[in-house]
Structure 1
């Protein structure tokens, strides 16, 4: 048995070597990066009409030999709904030959009166025609509760100049809105009809996923066949503790469910996941074998600032990937970095910078007892702050504190006046405070954005 295990280890290390070489030569897909952003986005709302949105994203590739960065991909969100959803966005890639950005994809979303996306059209840039051409269309049908019951994907047929069906996902829900069934279908152009592809059943217990079953459609027998299933366990606190997966062994004389993999999770005192272990079942030795491990760390605010992925190599865990994330004072992710472990150290592969802004900024008009304070929000360096008829006698003091609570600026002021924000103030959140002998007169947030 030891020989079999050693052979498996050599194969695993060879696979890891190929994987490392591949990742070193190409970037993580941009859609993967956007998925990570959505998973870790915690945008706050300072005022009723102010919403944080991403203005643009710039991604760079790093040469592992020289450490030099070169442009890779960038994306602009061009238009938003009132609640910050993207209506139009443009993706461009860097052309090393031309030394310039070139168009790649253009996305246009259509929303219904529930503010749900019902149509998404993705266009590709035609370098010959120098114009956008249709590529993919996604049509989503929601029910009265805002849950999607159908998602139809179509590809553009340039010859027919029309949309061609590609795939259809149908969803069913229980009374609590939990997705109990997904049926995926593919379009059969020869038969001009939809044909089943696979089906997923989900079972819930008090709103938590308890089990799932995956089945494949057998066109020859016109029946569903078992593929794999999973059982989900939870801690008393409600966090997930384990996922046990099995595959259907149809080749056995008497088909049965066979162990496949398991995932175990650990959490810190705040209930945030710090560890995920993936083990595979070894049928030869009837034992679990380590496969993959994810380690997560967090900032004091609870933002997931790093994820380390490691693979098991015979007797020890081997570092493979490191995802590092930076956040601003409001919890918006500002930088995303991917590192690959090579030659005993982490080598940066990809960097993405996220640039945020406030949507629908409003002029703040706070009204303390007997007075008014007015300023733009967001504000730029040098913008004025007006105040008048503030309560209290004698001189007042105005102070500006940064997001860490450090005093950035302070001066004496009268009950009425105007002050310009310092020209050397950096982007970020600040707290404006006015106080006098009677105590606090005013306190408000200012977001500075150049």
Structure 2
């Protein structure tokens, strides 16, 4: 009975209803005492669903204990009413997800996510009983390993919730790094089912990443060149398939091989991702130098951010590679950047302001860092790049200073960026 979901509610009928609604697999308990005895005997169940009959204080105490002693066990809370104060307290206590009792689909999805993470951890040495995960090198879950001769800096942009501005950050960051062709930059759209990089940048690709499937194992610079779509800013793109069904054919091994080739050919590789941890995304995270976690100041986004950080930590990714990016940072919605930092337990590396100009630039297909270099959003993205990618700091800092603090005309503003390109280093 290992690796099964557990359901607890004082009303056994309710507990069993929850079990049935998620597929009919699992063990039900009417009290926390019986549940505790079971957990002492079975060390690797993956999910604990606490029903609406379990008091809030008891549920939070259980989650807080499991977060320390059994971090691989995801606690999912089912409630008759989901409020903002409840979500905030749940986040603080270590509850993975809070689901309304009538949301059977949401509960099923939460249990599946928890099971996927627990299964990944069970397959790694030392993952049981809350021990730190140290994946074996070369596995799809292994943390980034240094690659001899690597030339590109790999930046993966990730958000655990859709609508946080992840693709906007990825595309604008890539354009900022490209610096009108002064650096070789490739953006890779790994949202394989619903990627938006091509449409956001008004690209018309001849080929997509799906065209690499027949070449798996035979990818070389010439083959990868055929996959690229070039943008007027000087960057290149590997775009997502046009048919969502093609995503199933793209293996983690293919992603790893593709990124290996791109790292040898470019100065920077920026990766846009879907809001999920699948094997393809883990393959990208494995080679990432910087993982930019995008969040907006709202409780659902914070909840998912907390889950994402815990997941990355449990899978062994170094904390010093994580960067917190607060989008729409100036939104007056009752959550400050300090509260975001407390939830994430890390400082914000960038605060990007809200602006109607951003969706307008997307609709025109012109990234805002090109459309309006002086814009507050543009400057925030360039500042993030310069502070988190030191090798680019000098040119981007000059650009930000010129555009943000002087009254020179456009020609003068650009001259600082059009100097002789620095030598490429390995």
Specify the structure having the higher radius of gyration (Cα).
Answer: 1
TM-score scaled to structure 2, two decimals? 0.24
User: Which has the larger share of strand?
Assistant: 1
Between the two structures, name the one with larger relative contact order (CA 8 Å, sep ≥ 6).
2
User: Which has the larger share of helix?
Assistant: 2
